[in-house]
Structures are given as structure tokens and as C-alpha cells.
Amino acid sequence: MKITGLSLGYGERLIVDSVDLEIRQGSLTVIVGPNGSGKSTLLRGMSRLLRPRAGTVHLDGVDIADVSSTDLARRLALLPQAPVTPQGLTVGDLVARGRFPHRAWYQRWSDADDDAVRRALTRVDLLDRSADQVSELSGGQRQRAWLAMVLAQDTDHLLLDEPTTYLDLAHAVEVMSLARDIAHESSRTVVGVLHDLTLAARFADHMVVLSAGQIVATGSPDEVVTSALLAEVFGLRAEVITVDGAPAVVPTRHR
Amino acid sequence: MTSLVPTRSSTLPLVITTVVATLLLAVGILLSLGTGEIGLSPVEVLRTLAGQGDPFTELVVRDFRGPRVAAAVLVGASLACSGTILQSVARNPLASPDLLGINAGASVAAVAVVILAGGNGGVSGLAASVGLPIAALLGAMVSGLALYLLAIRNRQLDPIRMVVVGVGIAAAGTSLVSWLLTLGDVMVVGPALAWLSGSLHAVTWPAVAGVGLTIAVVLPFLLAWTRRLDVLVLGDDAAGGLGIDVHRTRVLLLLLATALAGVATSAAGAVVFLALCAPQLARALSRTSRPPLLASAVVGAALLTWADLAARMLLSWVGFGPVELPVGVFTAVLGAPYLLFVVSRTRSTSLEGRRP
């Protein structure tokens, strides 16, 4: 995925200012940044939910501005932030809706659809819960069900907007390690937006730091998460320690 | 490997709901065609419908009661479809053409025609047979347009805003109607009030044909779009990510819902609450995640057919003589408690469902 000179905004306000970014296949890239830095807006631009003011996004050499919505949905899936599940929806039904871009309105449910849904449910370990209501699941399971929905979409690119919001740490870790494994095992391009730096550093292969709509740092978690950067970008006094080979952020007690 | 389809939510309740509602509708139609000053047995009605009746029963069934019963079926179905669409578009069980002000627009226009064109002696001739339905349809379209323009934010049709704006339009429309009624003289206000309370009493075949035609055009289109509705209720971003142009889809659906409600209202007057209740009743019975389109239409048709029969006969059954209630009064009496029930059951934080 290649982003060139991408500018995005709402109304008068420019939120993402001519961003250039190349995202590697088969890895998990996590975008971090302070509140209001434009992380989620960038993700919306990458998925064409928001039309760019300027610039382009290419997937495997194809400009996303040139493809139909359905074609794009077969190449790129988006897990929205804090998705709302309608009452009465079963897990199987939710995941089956991921097949929407693969079926024209006159086409019946096919073996390929069934297969994709089964694979997605197996991947998130919810196959035996497919007849249950989504509303009966725990928060972590519900997020996994939504993840299965976008996995059933069977795309080479996957965008996750704050996938751990409202989840406790154990479930957040579960979702993030799932996201990383999915990227590694199927050579998908997975991009997530997170606000928890330590969690991001734990699971990301690459990190992108956004500040005021511009990229201020990219690289491996080691390279990116430093005391100097935390002070500069987040205005945070913190120590960075290394645990298990990945940086962890520990804020100092005195401001 | 077995198919996952059976482990997805079962479609059995949906099938049962549709079949039972269809049977109730058929029975309702037979009874309604046979009931009145001249009583006919269901067998006589069936024989007449098959073209084997005598000229007299034919007159009663085809000319006297036919338009009325057909109107109940078609108006019920189109209001229910309209409610189904709006509830899915707004992701809110309270959305319906009456609460969103679409019917209020129709009422303002219709009452304006009655009051301003009526003079003394009430509406007659062209103003009544053509002017009133067309005015009602235009009124519905105008408030649909106002709803669309006012509910736009960031070039998107915002569902929450849609409900809030709709309630405002409905309130404004209702007060305009009250004001218009104070302008008219007593002779004219009567028919206007009758129209406002929703009545199938004076329905004619051309009006019925208008409603039928609208349904015949819109329903197949909607049925082809059911998967789109399934995806739309997952939220704007999820639907967008699945390849739907959310804004265009919503605008088109709003237009169709307005047309259905407008045509139905122009034929039968302001029949309230039906568009709200029928889809939710169908949804509760068939246990689906959004109101099912076809089942809602059949439930709506059955509800209005039975409500009209009851409104027509209730007072004479309890010994008041041959006095009719407007069917709108009847649906209001049934619908108001339902509305309170929904409001009391809805979580105050979100009308859309639960967050993860």
C-alpha cells in the first residue's frame, strides 16, 4: 500500500496534511499519535470513506480512486471503531455480511461464501458460537466476531480503527495478537490505529507516529518509541524500558 | 461439510410469520367483503370473486366494498414498507413516516386544499377527487425533502439528526394543521377532520390503483436491495467498508419511503402508527435483526384490513347502530400504547443497539 501526498479534512478544517507513507505487505503496521492528530482520519482516507483533498492511495499499484466501491471492498476491509451491533443478530449472520461485496443481488449463497465464513470464524475461534446472538457475547468475543466479519470479506488489505476500544487489557492483547498473526500467516497488509503506545509497540512490526496531521516518525517499535519522541510529540515525561525485546512506556510519577 | 446457513439465524420464524399473516390477511379480506348492512357468507364472497355471483352480490362486493378492502390491504402494506425502510435507514425502531413528519406534510397540504378550495359546502368535484390526493402526495414529498436537507451533516444523512429533525417537522406540521382548521368554516372543517383521522370510507378504485402501482414498482426493487439493508444497519463505516455508497443508498431509500407513505396517505388520509408498529411486530415475531420487508408488508396489510373491519363494525356490534369509526382512530388507540412500550424498553443511552 502506497500513500502519496494525501491530504484529508472535514469542511474547512485540514486534518491530514500531505502524508507520504509506504506500508509493507505481510506485516502489522500501527499508527499512533496524540488525540486529534488525525490517525482515524488517515485510516478513513486510506479506505476511501473520506475522499481526499489531494493525493492518492495505491493498493498493489491500483489507485483506489479508480475502482468501484464493490471492487475496493474486495481488496480492502475496514473494521470501524466501536461498531454497533443491531439487536437480534447472530454471530454467523454478522460474519456472513462480510460476503456482501462478493455477491451480486441475484446471486445465492455459495460454497465459496460458506467456506470464507467458516474460515473466518475458525480463525477467531468462534465457530461453535455462530448460532449465538452477538449481544450475548463478551466484549472481547464481540470484537472477535467483528474481526471475523472483515476477515470473511477476504481482502489483501485490512484496516482496524482502534480495535481495542472498550476492551480490558487481556482482551485487547488477544485482539492485537490475532491481528499480528493474521498479517504474518496470510501475507495480508494489516494497518491499525491505536492510542495505547505500549500495546502498539508490543505487537506492531512497524509503527507510524502522527502529530498534527503529519508523520513525525516511522520505523520499528525500537526505533520509534523513545523518551525523546514521547516528550516531543505527546508532551509526556516517560521512561522507555525494554521487556521481551519490545519497548514499554512507563510514565514518570513527577510531571 | 455441512453448510453454515443452518447455524446462521433460523429463517423458520420468518416463514411462519409470513404464512400466518398471509392467512389472517386472506380471512380478513373475506370477512370484510362479506360484512356490512348486507351480510354475505365467505362462500358467497368467494363465489362472487370467482365471477359466479348474482349481479347484486357482485355490486356489493366489487363496487361497494371492493375498493375499500383493496385500499386497506394496499395502504397497510405500503405504510408498513415505508416504516420498514425508515427504521432500517435511521437504525431506530421509532422511525416511521408519521413520527418523521412525512405524514404531517401530507396532512398540511390536504387540509390546505380542503380549507382554501372548499369555500362553503366542502370540497367537491375536481378538488376532492384529484386535488386532495395529489396535494397530499406533494405535501409528503415536500416534508421528505425538508427532512433530507435538514438532516444532512458533512454531506452525510445523519440517522440521529434525521429522527430529531423529523419530530420537529411533525410538530410544525401538526400545528399548521390546527391553525388551518381555525380558518375554515364549520361546514368545511368536518371533511378535513375526517380525512385527518384516516378513513377508508370514500376510497375509489383510481386511488387504490395509485397505491397498488406504487407498491408494484417499489417492492421488487426493495426486495433486490434487502442485502443492502442488512449491511446498512451495521452502521455507516461498516457499510461503507463493505462497498456501499451509504449516502446515496440512504437518500434513495428515503425517497422510496416518502413515496410509499405519501401515496398511501393520499388515498386513505392520516392512518397513524401502522407504519411504526407493523415492521416491529413482524421483526419481533420473526426474530430478525431488522424489520423483514415482505413479512412487514403482509403484517401491515393484515393489521389494516382487520382494523378497518373492526372500525366499521365495532359500534354496531356493541349496539350503537350503523356508525363507523375512522380506521385511523382505531390504529391510534392500538398504536399509542405500543409506542410507549418501545420508548420505555429502549435504552436511554443509545437507540441503535449495544456497543461492544
Report how far residue B17's alpha carbon sits from residue B149's, in angstroms, rounded to the nearest whole number.
37
| Reduced DSSP (H G I as helix, E B as strand, rest coil) percent helix, strand, coil of chain A, to 5 | 40, 30, 30
Alpha helices in chain B (DSSP H): 12-34, 42-49, 55-58, 66-90, 102-118, 125-126, 132-150, 159-183, 186-196, 205-224, 226-232, 236-241, 246-268, 274-286, 293-317, 327-345
Backbone angles phi, psi at A9, to 5 degrees: -170, 170
- Which among A94, A101, A130 has the least Cβ separation from residue B7? A130
So what's the pLDDT on residue B130? Answer: 64
- Which stretches in chain A have pLDDT values below 50? none
Domains of chain B by residue range? 9-345
The answer to whether B349 faces chain A, any CB pair under 8 Å, is: no
β-bridge pairing A238-243 and A246-251: antiparallel
Q: How far apart are CA A91 and CA B6, in angstroms?
A: 12
Residues A101-130 have pLDDT tens digits of: 998 888 888 899 999 999 999 999 999 999
Put simply, whether B321 touches A (Cβ < 8 Å) is no
Specify the long-range contacts of residues B320-324, CB closer than 8 Å, at least 24 apart.
Answer: B322/B37, B324/B199, B324/B201
Which residues in chain B are closer than 8 Å to A168, comparing Cβ atoms? Answer: none
Write down the residue that cell numbers 410469520 correspond to.
B17
What is residue B132's predicted lDDT score, i.e. its pLDDT? 76
Kindly give the confidence (pLDDT) of every residue in chain B, 356 residues in length, as a single tens digit, with 9 standing for 90 and above: 445 554 455 788 899 999 999 999 999 999 999 888 788 888 888 888 888 888 888 888 888 889 999 999 999 999 999 999 999 988 888 889 988 999 999 989 988 887 877 643 444 555 556 677 788 889 999 999 999 899 887 777 788 888 899 999 999 999 999 898 888 777 778 777 877 888 888 788 888 888 999 999 999 999 889 889 999 989 889 999 999 998 899 889 999 999 999 999 888 888 888 999 999 999 988 888 889 999 999 999 999 999 999 888 887 777 777 677 888 888 888 888 887 877 776 654 344 444 33
- Superfamily per CATH, domain A2-251: P-loop containing nucleotide triphosphate hydrolases (3.40.50.300)
Residue A114 to residue B4, Cβ atoms within 8 A: yes
Enumerate the domain spans of chain A.
2-251
Q: Which residues make Cβ contacts (< 8 Å) with residue B273, sequence separation at least 6?
A: B96, B98, B331, B332, B334, B335, B336, B338, B339
Provide, as residue numbers in chain B, all residues whose Cβ is less than 8 Å from the Cβ of A47: 240-241
- On the 0-12 / 13-18 / 19+ scale of CB atoms within 10 A, A161 is buried
Is A80 within 8 Å of B288 when comparing Cβ atoms? no
DSSP-derived letter for residue B49 is H
Among the listed residues B201, B171, B196, the one whose alpha carbon sits nearest the alpha carbon of residue B181? B196
Q: Which three cell numbers stand for residue A55?
A: 493525493
Interface touch B235/A84, C-beta < 8 Å: yes
Q: Does A138 touch chain B (CB under 8 A)?
A: no
Q: Measured in whole angstroms, how far is the alpha carbon of residue B10 from the centre of its chain?
A: 28
Amino acid B120: pLDDT: 39
Q: Which amino acid is at A240?
A: V
| A144: CB partners within 8 A, 6+ apart | A124, A125, A126, A174, A175, A178
Q: How far is A255 from chain B (nearest CA, A)?
A: 34
Give CATH for domain B9-345.
1.10.3470.10
pLDDT score at B134: 83
Q: Which residues of B touch A83 (CB under 8 A)?
A: 234-235, 237-238, 356
Chain A residue with CA closest to B235: the answer is A84
Which triple of cell numbers denotes residue A8? Answer: 484529508
Using CB atoms within 10 Å of the CB of residue B150, give its burial: 0 to 12 exposed, 13 to 18 middle, 19+ buried: middle
Chain A hits for B228, CB-CB cut-off 8 Å, are: 105
Residue-level pLDDT at B336: 81
- Please tell me the predicted confidence (pLDDT) of residue B356: 36
Q: Would an 8 Å CB–CB cutoff place B353 in contact with chain A?
A: yes
- Cell readout for A30 is 500501527
pLDDT value at residue A255? 60
Note whether B9 contacts A93, CB cutoff 8 Å: yes
The DSSP symbol for B274 reads H
Complex ipTM: 0.91
